[in-house]
Amino acid sequence: MSALLEVDDLTITFRTAQGPVDVVDQLSFTLEQGASLGIVGESGSGKSMTSLAVMGLLPPTASLRGRVSLDGTDLTNLPESKVRRMRGDRMAMIFQDPLSSLNPYYTVGMQIEEAYRAHRAGVTRRQARKVAIEAMERVHIADASRRVDHYPHQFSGGMRQRVMIAMALSTEPDLLVADEPTTALDVTVQAQILDLLQEVRRETGTALILISHDLAVVSEIAEDVVVMRQGVAVEQAPAERLFSDPQHPYTRALLDAVPRIDDEIGELRGIDSVESAARVGGKP
Amino acid sequence: MSTTSTGAGTDTVAPAAASAPAAATAHSAEPLLRATDLVKEFAVPGTGGLLGRADTFRAVDGVSLEVRARETLALVGESGSGKSTTARLVARLADATSGEVVFDGEPVTRAKGERLRRFRSEVQVVFQDPYSSLNPRHTVERIVTAPLVYQGRKVPGGTTAFTQQLMERVGLDPDHHRRYPSQFSGGQAQRIGIARALAVSPRLVVCDEAVSALDVSVQAQIINLLRRLQREEGFSYLFIAHDLAVVRQIADRVAVMSKGRIVEQGGRDAVFDDPQHEYTRTLLSAVPRIRPEWERARREAAEARAAAPGETSAPEEGTTA
Residue A164 has pLDDT above 80, yes or no: yes
Distance of CA A253 to the CA centre of its chain: 24
Contact B291 A247 (CB under 8 A): no
Angstrom distance (rounded) from CA A203 to CA A210: 17
Average pLDDT over residues A125-149: 95
Look at A240 and B294 and tell me if their CB atoms are within 8 Å: yes
Chain mean pLDDT for chain B: 87
| Range 251-280 of A in CB contact (< 8 A) with B | 252-255, 257-265, 267-272, 274, 277, 280
Cα torsion A261, A263, A267, A272 to 10°: value is -40
| Percentage of residues of chain A with pLDDT beyond 70 | 93
Helix (H) / strand (E) containing A220: helix A215-221
Whether A216 sits inside 8 A of B302 (CB atoms) is: no
Contact call for residues B287 and A261 (beta carbons, < 8 A): yes
- Per-residue pLDDT at B21 exceeds 50: no
Check if B249 contacts A (Cβ < 8 Å): yes
User: How confident is the model over A39-48, as pLDDT tens digits?
Assistant: 999 999 999 9
Q: Is the pLDDT of residue A271 over 90?
A: no
Segment A268-284 mean pLDDT? 42
Cα separation, B77 vs B181, whole angstroms: 30
Look at strands A36-41 and A224-229 and give their pairing: parallel
Rounded to two decimals, the ipTM of the complex is 0.86
B212, HSE (Cβ side, Cα atoms, 13 Å): 20
Radius of gyration over alpha carbons of chain B, in Å? 22
pLDDT score, position A98: 82
3-state secondary structure of A31: strand
What are chain B's domains? 4-14+24-45+55-306 (3.40.50.300)
Contact A261 B287 (CB under 8 A): yes
Q: What is the largest CA-CA distance in chain A?
A: 62
Please name the residues between 91 and 150 in chain A that touch chain B, using a CB distance below 8 Å: none
How far apart are the C-alpha atoms of A113 and A170, rounded to whole Å?
9
Q: For residue A197, which of A227, A225, A226, A164 has the smallest C-alpha distance?
A: A164
Q: What is the pLDDT of residue A268?
A: 67
What whole-number distance in Å separates Cα of residue A258 and Cα of residue B220? 7
Give the pLDDT band (50/70/90) at residue A143.
Answer: very high
B298 and A216 in contact by Cβ < 8 A?
A: no
The residue of chain B with its CA nearest to that of A278 is: B317
Nearest to B288 among A43, A216, A233 (CB): A216
A residues 158-177 lying closer than 8 A (beta carbon) to B: none
- Asked if A161 and A98 count as a contact pair (C-beta separation under 8 A), the reply is yes
Domains of chain A: 1-80+179-250 (3.40.50.300), 99-172 (no CATH)
As a dihedral over the C-alpha atoms of residue B158, residue B164, residue B168, residue B173, rounded to 10 degrees, the angle is: 180
Q: Residue B52 — very low, low, confident or very high, per pLDDT cuts 50/70/90? A: confident
